[in-house]
Structure 1
């Protein structure tokens, strides 16, 4: 169960929080004892314990922070679902297009792309999609997870070079993903938009 894996990460953060609270309480207690006992051994003992607690807490925070903030989207770390659909022509009243390109309001994307498939309109930002027109040579990003080029050729024949491939990657169940509390969460979403040539792209 995906949520059970994510509980591992939650429990680790709870342990770190409890350790921090316990460290603060124990420091206050030892400080009171040190005021009563002014010998050097007590101060040295207090310092050694403080260093040990601080080191443990710092290492735990660095490790958990690294796992939480730097997720791996490698193929071995995600489950990938790919889906293929034909796209249909859209029209502006004068000419028909497969893809409409707009300026994006999303600060991470330069453009938004819209396309139709079986009467439903979709809009995707350019940072989560790519348009492949005609015989364009394209450097596919990592988010496509090694798309099957033989499959693409068969789709070209079946749908006359007018189709989309959606790639949805989610984090697999596992210890590292559980510590990062992201099992079952989306790792990436990407859309390959295939059109016969550039004349089927309309720029607004």
Structure 2
């Protein structure tokens, strides 16, 4: 329902656009046809002012709707939730167990992390996830979200340091997010794949 604010706002912008076009056209017609005079500097100034006001409104709506930056370190405009799921061990041809397989592409420097939770297989780009060796302190890029170290310690014990944390930031349901038609929508997602140590990671470089 909050996103209806944005729909109404865009309808107002559309009505404002039609009004400005018709207003400028009518003013020019009255000056040229009925009064048979040239377009004066005063009329052009009014035209310019109306166009500037219209452009400002459109740019503002475009910014709120499409160009709002996601700051997942702040909770003022986003609600962040975390899901903790235990990893399922896999075995390779030699019988060695692993939790995560890395498909690496040297040409793009982007890896794909593949893992299994319950009966489902998942793949995630290294742009949106990081591997965390539980033998070392948690190190997550700055672009990632806040991570609760107490919860991580809790799930380290519960899942024997083999689990994935999925953090999701969603736009809060408020006026500003409704104006941009983003209320309740997913803003960002990041995953931390936790493994006991590096020996549980299988690498497949291309």
* TM category, shorter: 0.7 to 0.9
Q: Hey, what does 1:19 align to over in structure 2?
A: 16
Q: Which runs of 5+ in 2 are unaligned?
A: none
TM-score, structure 2 as length reference: 0.85
Q: Hey, what does 1:193 align to over in structure 2?
A: 193
Deviations 1:128-170 (A, max 9, x none): 1110013334442456432111211121122221111111221
Name the Cα RMSD after superposition: 2.1
SS of residue matched to 2:147: coil
> Do 1:143 and 1:190's aligned partners in 2 also have CA atoms closer than 8 Å?
no
Runs of 4 or more off by more than 4 Å in structure 1?
none
SS of residue matched to 2:161: coil
Query: Are 1:102 and 2:99 counterparts?
Result: no
Deviations 1:42-85 (A, max 9, x none): 72442232122112102112211221233243322112221112
> Do 1:131 and 1:193's aligned partners in 2 also have CA atoms closer than 8 Å?
yes
Which range is displaced more, 91-100 or 141-150?
141-150
Query: Are 1:50 and 2:47 counterparts?
Result: yes
Q: Hey, what does 1:180 align to over in structure 2?
A: 180
> Do 1:101 and 1:203's aligned partners in 2 also have CA atoms closer than 8 Å?
yes
Q: For 2:49 and 2:2, how far apart are their aligned partners in 1?
A: 30
Q: For 2:16 and 2:173, how far apart are their aligned partners in 1?
A: 27
Query: Are 1:32 and 2:29 counterparts?
Result: yes
Q: For 1:141 and 1:201, how far apart are their aligned partners in 2?
A: 20
> Do 1:97 and 1:200's aligned partners in 2 also have CA atoms closer than 8 Å?
yes
Q: Hey, what does 1:119 align to over in structure 2?
A: 119
> Do 1:103 and 1:112's aligned partners in 2 also have CA atoms closer than 8 Å?
yes
Greater helix share, structure number: 1
> Mapping of 1:74-113 within 5 angstroms?
74-94=74-94, 95-103=96-104, 110-113=110-113
Shift of 1:198: 0.9
Paired residues in the alignment total 197
Q: Which runs of 5+ in 1 are unaligned?
A: none
TM-score, structure 1 as length reference: 0.86
Q: For 1:39 and 1:45, how far apart are their aligned partners in 2?
A: 13
> Mapping of 1:138-153 within 5 angstroms?
138-141=138-141, 144-153=144-153
